[in-house]
A = this chain, B = another copy of it.
Amino acid sequence: MSTIKDIARHAGVSVATVSYVLNNTRYVSPDKRERVIAAVQELNYVPNAAARGLRVRESRTIGLIVSDISNPFYPDLAKACEDVAQQYGYAVHMINTNDQPERMRQAVSQAREGKIDGLIVTTALEADRELLQSLLDREFPVVLAHRRLEGLDADLIESDNYEGGMLAARHMLALGHRRIAFLSGVAGSPISERRVAGYLQAMREAGIDVLAEWVLPGEAKYANSYERMVQYADMAPDTRPTAIINVSDIGAMGVLDAAADRGLRVPEDVAVMGFDDLFLAAFRSVRLTTVRIPRYELGRQATELLLKRIGKAKTERRHVVLPVDLVVRKTCGSEQADG
């Protein structure tokens, strides 16, 4: 593997001149410039990233923290992040925390080692606040994407979860439902909380008292949502919720399957909605009505913002709220055309 010295020797110039040519940092006479370029080609030279990074104190790498890349919410966001990063010459470290603070600690450590120049955090728990704040205190760029973390002084790109909750509830209300349940996420999830708040607001506006049993927290996964739906299915038909809004599409799939297993027809006996608009929500056999979350856009904007932050002096924190929209399909029974 050749070094800058080899190039300098081969081209008959100094290492400084080689560096000037490679980085375009000073004028170099055409003749020497050409000799440098030729030497680079001939020796197939690629500069060493560690040496460069040590000197200029940057790694040209950003970190992306997700709780679990195999959760279908994240791949689109991760893709956006990588697309943008590539474009700007940055690499992406992917870190799955599995919601363990230990993993977040490792990520923060990578930041302090200088392995990454900035961090995009899609899932930060309460327990991670102090850790992330310690980075921010050192002026290390951190952008929250998707999930906010109250009390953390970082940039935030999120979608309009409150509006999403309203949209969902109003859709059900417009279809004539009154007993509308909301299968929320785990207690303390700010995403879930905002969506529930929107739902509650819409219900209030409609003059409906929301029964405690209608808002059931739990894991936004298939299995747990399935179980929660089974509870509803076992209630008497005249008290059972006629509409179920789910905090995630994956959870909605569990609800759909539980309903079918219990002999309830969708949408005749129960209307079902999700959140996210995953690819699978569009399948003909599913056709889930849902609130679309702009996942790619979340990742794109978070990465653009992070890269803007890197190297720049501290600026005003940004808080971007992306619009969401209702995607009407079949599971609430109101599809317009092709049924």
Residue ID in chain B nearest A283 by CB atoms: B253
A216 within 8 A of B: no
| Minimum distance in angstroms from A335 CB to a CB of chain B | 15
Q: Which residues of A contact B (CB under 8 A)?
A: 1, 46-51, 53-54, 57, 59, 61, 64, 68-72, 74-76, 78-79, 82-83, 86, 91-96, 103, 106, 109-110, 112-115, 138, 222, 253, 256-257, 260-261, 279-280, 283-286
B49 near A115 with CB under 8 A, answer yes
B70 near A59 with CB under 8 A, answer no
Residues of chain B contacted by A110 (CB below 8 angstroms): 49, 91
B54 near A78 with CB under 8 A, answer no
Residues of chain B contacted by A91 (CB below 8 angstroms): 93, 95, 110, 115
| Minimum distance in angstroms from A85 CB to a CB of chain B | 10
Residues of chain B contacted by A113 (CB below 8 angstroms): 46-49
* A-B contacts, 16 listed (Cβ < 8 Å): A46-B109, A46-B113, A49-B113, A50-B59, A50-B114, A51-B54, A69-B69, A70-B78, A70-B79, A72-B72, A72-B75, A91-B93, A91-B110, A93-B94, A261-B284, A283-B286
| Minimum distance in angstroms from A42 CB to a CB of chain B | 15
Set B82, B92, B93, B285: member contacting A256, Cβ < 8 A: B285
Give Cα A6 to B48, complex, Å.
27
Residues of chain B contacted by A95 (CB below 8 angstroms): 82, 86, 91-92
Residues of chain B contacted by A64 (CB below 8 angstroms): 94
B48 near A114 with CB under 8 A, answer yes
| Minimum distance in angstroms from A141 CB to a CB of chain B | 15
B82 near A76 with CB under 8 A, answer no
Residues of chain B contacted by A70 (CB below 8 angstroms): 75-76, 78-79
A75 near B69 with CB under 8 A, answer yes
Give Cα A92 to B91, complex, Å.
10
Residue ID in chain B nearest A285 by CB atoms: B285
Residues of chain B contacted by A57 (CB below 8 angstroms): 50
| Minimum distance in angstroms from A235 CB to a CB of chain B | 21
Residue ID in chain B nearest A54 by CB atoms: B50
Q: Given A50-B50, A78-B69, A286-B285, A106 and B86 touching (CB < 8 A)?
A: yes
| Minimum distance in angstroms from A24 CB to a CB of chain B | 18
Residues of chain B contacted by A48 (CB below 8 angstroms): 54, 113-114
Give Cα A71 to B83, complex, Å.
15
Residues of chain B contacted by A82 (CB below 8 angstroms): 69, 94-96
A257 near B284 with CB under 8 A, answer yes
| Minimum distance in angstroms from A12 CB to a CB of chain B | 24
| Minimum distance in angstroms from A225 CB to a CB of chain B | 12
Residues of chain B contacted by A260 (CB below 8 angstroms): 284-285
> Closest 6 A-B residue pairs measured CB to CB?
A50-B53, A257-B284, A49-B113, A50-B54, A46-B112, A70-B75
Residue ID in chain B nearest A51 by CB atoms: B54
Give Cα A283 to B284, complex, Å.
13
Residues of chain B contacted by A103 (CB below 8 angstroms): 86
